[in-house]
Amino acid sequence: MAEFLSDGVELFATTCVRDFATAYPWWERLLGGPPSFKAHEREAVWEIAPHRWLVVEERPEHAGHATHTVFVSDLDARVAALAARGIEPSGQETYGDGVRKVVYRDPDGNEIGFGGNPAEPD
């Protein structure tokens, strides 16, 4: 398995939407700006970390079934930044070890979660 994950691997995680023109503004707000590039008029690609790409593509027959989780270094700052851009979570979880996950859903019901380490004690 380590050989499979060697240098040179790029990850593209695709989220399918019913209507790109409707979905695009929500994803642009969620991800904090325009995409790294548009593959074509119905597909946008954001590089969320080196060699890790999030793709939003109009493919109505598959819309609403994506589930992605991105682990971030400062979950509270990420949630606050999203709220400032008008994006509110649809739920949140805290696991037994204190790891947290905040879930967002796009207009098609696709899920993108942001995970983070346990909250620092006050």
DSSP annotation of 10 reads: -
CATH architecture observed for domain 11-116: Roll (3.10)
Q: What distance in Å separates the CA atoms of residue 63 and residue 18, rounded to the nearest whole number?
A: 5
Mean local confidence (pLDDT), 79-83: 97
How far from the centroid of its chain's Cα atoms is residue 54's Cα? 7
pLDDT at position 10 is: 87
pLDDT over 60 at 87, yes or no: yes
Residue ranges of the domains in the chain?
A: 11-116
pLDDT over 60 at 100, yes or no: yes
pLDDT at position 92 is: 96
Phi, psi of 105 (to 5 degrees): -130, 135
